[in-house]
Chain A
């Protein structure tokens, strides 16, 4: 079955960077885009960006431009999201999710990874 498995929880200091991984299985990794979404404690969901797992093209939300880098390793069927210049406001659960379509990032998100808690604290 299609599955996305993310890396474990992280604790970072303000100003540091964090890199979260998302390993895909059960489908051809390069045929679907991967999105990144975060959820602060008690809050709603916030889309951060996506990567075309086939050609590596990326797009990120204007809110995170300059701070987020999304990459992939096709040999490992893994996508990565790196967020820099962390502050307490970046404390959240970070999710990866597969785009539902095979023709680009045009669909909804299904399935989702289990989430990675990133805590930013001095």
Chain B
């Protein structure tokens, strides 16, 4: 199965600063990569799909990039409401697999 590795495990960023999250796949997943945001006690919510397309309802400060095995989620100017765990997921191969998550905290 495709192993998804996220880094760092935890990221502490000041409001207004940039947050950069990484996701690496153990083999190419083309652009079939999604990012999800999960806040405490809530279900995950689709944030980015196709590696770089922002889902409905998310502001432009969220952006995704990459293809193949290396992917990045960038939050350009962190807001307090962005505090959450972010998961990457590949949907190119079976079984579908998720990364271990990056927890973004507000400094």
Residues of A participating in the B interface, judged by any CB pair closer than 8 Å:
35, 44-47, 59, 61-63, 95, 100, 106-115
Residue of A nearest to B87 (CB): A45
Q: How far, in whole Å, are A71 and B83 apart by their CA atoms in the complex? A: 36
Q: How far, in whole Å, are A2 and B99 apart by their CA atoms in the complex? A: 26
Residue of B nearest to A62 (CB): B95
Query: Is A108's CB under 8 angstroms from B89's CB?
Result: yes
Interface size of B as a range: 10 to 19
Query: Is B87's CB under 8 angstroms from A106's CB?
Result: no
Partner of B43, one of A44, A63, A107, A114: A114
Q: How far, in whole Å, are A35 and B96 apart by their CA atoms in the complex? A: 10
- A residues within 8 A CB of B44? 45, 95, 109, 112
Query: Is B34's CB under 8 angstroms from A44's CB?
Result: no
Query: Is A108's CB under 8 angstroms from B43's CB?
Result: no
Query: Is A45's CB under 8 angstroms from B43's CB?
Result: no
Cβ contacts A to B, 26 pairs, < 8 Å = A44-B87, A44-B98, A44-B100, A44-B101, A45-B87, A45-B89, A47-B95, A47-B96, A47-B97, A59-B94, A61-B95, A62-B95, A63-B95, A95-B43, A100-B46, A100-B49, A107-B91, A108-B34, A108-B46, A108-B91, A109-B36, A109-B44, A110-B46, A112-B45, A114-B43, A115-B43
Q: How far, in whole Å, are A51 and B89 apart by their CA atoms in the complex? A: 19
Q: How far, in whole Å, are A106 and B31 apart by their CA atoms in the complex? A: 12
- B residues within 8 A CB of A47? 95-98
Q: Smallest distance from the beta carbon of B5 to chain A beta carbons, Å?
A: 11
Q: How far, in whole Å, are A52 and B17 apart by their CA atoms in the complex? A: 43
Q: How far, in whole Å, are A59 and B95 apart by their CA atoms in the complex? A: 9
Residue of A nearest to B91 (CB): A108
Q: Is B55 an interface residue (CB 8 A)?
A: yes
4 pairs of A and B residues whose beta carbons are closest in the complex:
A108-B34, A110-B46, A112-B43, A47-B96
Q: Smallest distance from the beta carbon of A4 to chain B beta carbons, Å?
A: 9
